Structure 1
Amino acid sequence: MFSALFFGIVNGPLSTLVSLEILNLGGNAIDVAYAITSANVVLIPASMFWGIIADRYHLRNIIILGFSLSTLFLSLMYFTYSIPLLTLSYSIFTFFSVAYSTPMNLLVMETSEKSKWAYNFSRLSMLSSIGSLIGLILSTLLVAIIRIFQVYLFLTIFGIMALGSSVLYTPKTIIGIERTSMLHHKESFLTRLKMIPLIFLHFPSVHSFKMFKLSRLLRKPINYLPLLYLAIFIFYISSGLFNTVYPVSLYQGNLSKSEVLGIITEGMLAQIVTFHFTGKLLEKIDEREAASKALLLRGGSYIILGIVTLFPSLLLGAGAIFYPLAAGLAFSTYYSASNTLIFKAVGGRRQGTTLGVYSTLVGIAMFIGSLLSGYISHYYGFITDFIIAGTLLFISSYIFRYIEEG
């Protein structure tokens, strides 16, 4: 499992580093949006491809292959001095970086007793998150003394460590457990979605989307699942609008690279800490209520951070306060609540079709949000982009309050 820690160090700060490097190379918010959108688009075929591979080949070999090739393309980013090449390298890295997520979850189920699954999945998730935090802290310190493309080379060391630990300590297993096994255990399901919010057992057909017909959306309680998906769809559009260009807004507001990464690091720290308390919170209140309140907090934080872009002197202080609220407390509460609702929904319906529709919608939403963010912020300002993102979360919050489980 320590390979997940090492690879988290690589993966955690990379999107922010790529965004900042694009700006250093003379790019703007649109160029950053293209890079992040490209990586988001790659997630769809990558999650499908590596999922199929996990059903057919040895899990250990897939993990080793994923770490090997992603580390290779990370090292090649050291030699990229143009925005198109950096975007391409980052997209290819993303494709191979998701290879380990499904096999790692299945490996936990194959190599440990069922009574220990909850503990081991919690440990896997925690190690990955701590790795991301360490990577962000190291990057925050390193960008103050070396160039970003040199940081890629430093992170490559941890990619090699992830590869080495996977070769030495990942056990050999038979091809036994299929991906559907992850859907029957809550901890496995939530851990897998936390790594990548896309799960394709098979690609859905056009008929699978009939649940979104207007006649069904207006009728309770059969509108529960489509409205739940719609609320999550809106969330991912909003997140794409905000997260894609938030580091850009800070850097173009005259914050240093270390200050930008410092704010992102603080958000990750808040997220790790608050994830520990969300379980107890969800024991006291309904998941829909928890998700709704979390979205109000996240949406309000987005709007405040948007307004603050008009006052550059306040960017650092406001970011240190409201970004951890949005990325920490609000996100962890929403994510735990919404994914629990998805887990319950998948358990009672056709799993392949249900998850296929869900993952397709999430993928489309990530694409739309990240792509539009560049154009909106470039032509109409970050304040417009962030206010739209916050307003969308208010709409999503209302839907969570409206839906009734059937």
Structure 2
Amino acid sequence: MEKIKYNDKWMYTLIPYGMGFMPFLIMLPLLILKLGGNAIDISYTATLGNITWIIGSFVWGYISDYYDLKKLTILGLLTSGLFVIPMAYAKSVVEVEILYGIWSFFNTALIISLYLIIIKTFAKEMWVIENAKLNFLNTIGYLLGFLGSSALAIYFKVNFLILMTGILMTLSSLLSYYFLPKIENNHKELSWINVLKSFLIKIRIMSKIFNPSFLKISLKKAFDFKNKKIQNMRIILLYTGNFLFYLSYGIILTQYSASLKIYGISDSIILAIFSLGTFSQIISFYFSPRFINTYGKIRASWITLSLRGISFFMIGLSMFLFLNKTYLILSQFVFYSLGGGLAYSIFFTAANVMVLETTKTEKEGSTLGIYETLIAFGFTIGSFISGYMINYTGFPITFIITGILIIINSAIFKIMEEKQK
């Protein structure tokens, strides 16, 4: 299918969404703690959201091959806001869990549609630049949201802040209605029978992927670069590396803000830590295309994963030592900015572009649906085990282990680079 070129001005409509999205995710654990929950409750909430994300990846991945991407994007934005707003008035953790699960399902439609809009409207050689720009603008939204939330947290409770995040997400849906171009999918009419069939097929695929004997054979082939199907082996390593990345990210995203709260840090300072980390992301996203083009996508991936792993190892170590609260706060500002900001942006851009390069024409949505499912499994496992890790080992050891896992993950991309020489 020939690409119809559009400009990328529509990306600016997502800034309000970004202002609401990331602060919402960070404040969700704080809301659960306020309602009387604990680390395991946070873990269960995140796990439920990730399960609905997996289901959404199957469903929306297939639908996106047939459905108007503009409508799909607006649907994702609108429902993201509408299901966040009631959480501000939730009276129990169970209410939050249910609403978050529904929110996560519909938010997947937005994630997949944005990937596809880039694929369908820009030439392949522009994917790095446009993907980086989209991430850059999203991160601008994150920063504005964190700065605003950090200031408002001095005067308002977390419920009010979450209400504001929902309103901001809804605003992006209105802007997208007017500014996002219509992008046609030239496929046959969508059949819900086909959606169900696709869902069942992908369940079989995923069960095969996680079958021990299949993994053993696949990994053996992956390290045999004399194999003629080297591209398939590269994909296996790429997806394995991304799976481990999102598993570790699931632990961090689920519990990091809660850990700071448990250590007695105020909501305002917690959001300020994320503000600085997000500012670091913005700088990193801005320079990521140049960095990736200079060093290559694979090398950029293992370098930044190493930095991220060391940073979260140090975050755990600083909590373990806990000399005093001032020391703890300063260390979080430094190491989260490096690991959660600088390193994250470059890896995220490089990894996403490598995944986009594996998609097949006319079936991009289905391919990305499988990829979204795989990383959702990673998030789900990470979120689920995080509560139990903290319950048995505490926050410091949990983050130290997570840092080590990320460093091990960087070795996968290092091996990819070495074997391609």
Q: Same fold (TM over 0.5)?
A: yes
Mapping 1:92-111, distance limit 5 Å? 92-104=102-114, 106-107=116-117
Shift of the alpha carbon at 1:357? 5.8
The 3 A distance-change label for structure 1 pair 226 and 87 is same
Task: State how far apart, in whole Å, the 2-side matches of 1:290 and 1:109 are.
Answer: 22
Deviates more, 1:204-213 or 1:89-98: 204-213
The 3 A distance-change label for structure 1 pair 357 and 133 is same
Please say if 1:220 is aligned against 2:225.
yes
Residue identity matched to 1:163: S
Deviates more, 1:213-222 or 1:328-337: 213-222
Mapping 1:145-164, distance limit 5 Å? 145-164=155-174
Deviates more, 1:113-122 or 1:4-13: 113-122
Partner of 1:21: 31
Mapping 1:154-233, distance limit 5 Å? 154-172=164-182, 174-176=184-186, 203=202, 205=205, 206=207, 210=214, 212-213=216-217, 215-222=220-227, 223-233=233-243
The 3 A distance-change label for structure 1 pair 169 and 239 is closer
Partner of 2:350: 337
Please say if 1:280 is aligned against 2:295.
no
Task: State how far apart, in whole Å, the 1-side matches of 2:365 and 2:68 are.
Answer: 22
Deviation track 1:194-245 (CA, whole Å, cap 9, x = no partner) reads: xxxxxx9x72625567465154245234454433333332222222222321
Shift of the alpha carbon at 1:321? 0.4
Identity of aligned residues (%): 31
Shift of the alpha carbon at 1:341? 3.7
Task: State how far apart, in whole Å, the 2-side matches of 1:390 and 1:15 are.
Answer: 21
Task: State how far apart, in whole Å, the 1-side matches of 2:241 and 2:124 are.
Answer: 33
2:400 paired residue among 374, 387, 402? 387
Task: State how far apart, in whole Å, the 2-side matches of 1:117 and 1:391 are.
Answer: 31
Partner of 1:184: none
Please say if 1:367 is aligned against 2:380.
yes
Residue identity matched to 1:220: F
Contact 2:30 2:257 in 1 (8 A): yes
Deviation track 1:278-337 (CA, whole Å, cap 9, x = no partner) reads: 222223324333222222211111111101113052221001100010012211232233
The 3 A distance-change label for structure 1 pair 156 and 33 is same
Task: State how far apart, in whole Å, the 1-side matches of 2:250 and 2:294 are.
Answer: 30
Gaps of 5+ in 1: 179-199
CA RMSD of aligned residues (A): 3.2
Deviates more, 1:103-112 or 1:36-45: 103-112
The 3 A distance-change label for structure 1 pair 371 and 259 is same
1:271 paired residue among 274, 281, 284? 281
Please say if 1:45 is aligned against 2:58.
no
Contact 1:289 1:401 in 2 (8 A): yes
Mapping 1:12-91, distance limit 5 Å? 12-91=22-101
Contact 2:65 2:365 in 1 (8 A): no
Shift of the alpha carbon at 1:123? 4.6
Deviation track 1:39-60 (CA, whole Å, cap 9, x = no partner) reads: 2222222222223333333333
Contact 1:244 1:370 in 2 (8 A): yes
Contact 2:116 2:365 in 1 (8 A): no
Please say if 1:398 is aligned against 2:403.
no
Please say if 1:321 is aligned against 2:330.
no
Contact 1:240 1:368 in 2 (8 A): yes
Partner of 1:240: 250
The 3 A distance-change label for structure 1 pair 358 and 333 is same
Task: State how far apart, in whole Å, the 2-side matches of 1:117 and 1:280 are.
Answer: 13
Contact 2:307 2:339 in 1 (8 A): yes
Q: What number of residue pairs does the alignment pair up?
A: 384
Contact 1:244 1:373 in 2 (8 A): yes
Helix, strand or coil at the partner of 2:400: helix
The 3 A distance-change label for structure 1 pair 343 and 108 is closer
Shift of the alpha carbon at 1:393? 1.5
Contact 1:41 1:367 in 2 (8 A): yes
Task: State how far apart, in whole Å, the 2-side matches of 1:55 and 1:378 are.
Answer: 43
Shift of the alpha carbon at 1:369? 1.0
Task: State how far apart, in whole Å, the 2-side matches of 1:306 and 1:161 are.
Answer: 38
Task: State how far apart, in whole Å, the 2-side matches of 1:374 and 1:131 are.
Answer: 29
Task: State how far apart, in whole Å, the 2-side matches of 1:356 and 1:93 are.
Answer: 17
- TM-score (normalizing by structure 2): 0.80
The 3 A distance-change label for structure 1 pair 322 and 177 is farther
Partner of 1:293: 303
The 3 A distance-change label for structure 1 pair 215 and 130 is closer
